[in-house]
Amino acid sequence: MRHIALSIILVLSAIILPISAQAQRPSGREREVWMKEMQQFKNDFIAKKLNLTEEQKAKFLPLYNSMDEEIRKAQNEAEQLYRQTLKKGEKATDLEYEKAAEAVYELKGRENTIEMKYFKDYKQILSPNQLFQLKVAERDFTRQLMKQHRSQRKAK
């Protein structure tokens, strides 16, 4: 899931960057609306792939979205530190490089900790097969986004 979440962010970034280059940079509100639409698309995709009942959707999706948000925050923190260090270039100290590298290397562990925290709750909602299929659904979702992105690039 760590790689999937990172892949999703990279794909989303790859989709956003060309759009913002063609038009004015989207406002914070437009970006927020777009992110909510993407989250809803992902929720619908996963719910369909896992064949969730309405009761399961009501319990699982809010937890899943909370997990995604926690992972996104961890990724943003590591990325921010990384970018700040890159910006400093040669002026960055060894300690700053070390802290940025440490944040990047620790990210996978932080993502795993977050996932395992939520996994315990998921076990109360999803069947063992659905738990297993969740990873497949996340991978399929990422592939779907990448496929759509490639087809959009070819159409231009």
Q: In 10 A of CB 145, how many CB atoms?
A: 21
The string of pLDDT tens digits covering residues 36-78 is 899 999 999 999 999 999 999 999 999 999 999 999 999 999 8
Residue 11 pLDDT: 47
Lowest mean pLDDT among 1-10, 40-49, 72-81, 134-143: 1-10
Q: Quick one: which H or E segment has residue 124?
A: none
Mean pLDDT of 147-155: 84
Q: Count of CB atoms within 10 A of residue 60's CB?
A: 24
Confidence at residue 130, expressed as pLDDT on a 0 to 100 scale? 97
Phi, psi dihedrals of residue 25, rounded to the nearest 5°: -60, 130
Of 10-19, 66-75, 83-92, give the lowest mean pLDDT range. 10-19
Is residue 149 within 8 A of residue 15, CB to CB? The reply is yes
The mean pLDDT value for 132-147 works out to 93
**What's the pLDDT at 131?**
96
Biggest distance spanned by C-alpha atoms of the chain: 55
> Where does the pLDDT of residue 25 fall: very low under 50, low under 70, confident under 90, or very high at 90 and above?
low
How confident is residue 93, by pLDDT bands cut at 50, 70 and 90? confident
Average pLDDT over residues 12-31: 60
User: What is the model's pLDDT at position 100?
Assistant: 84
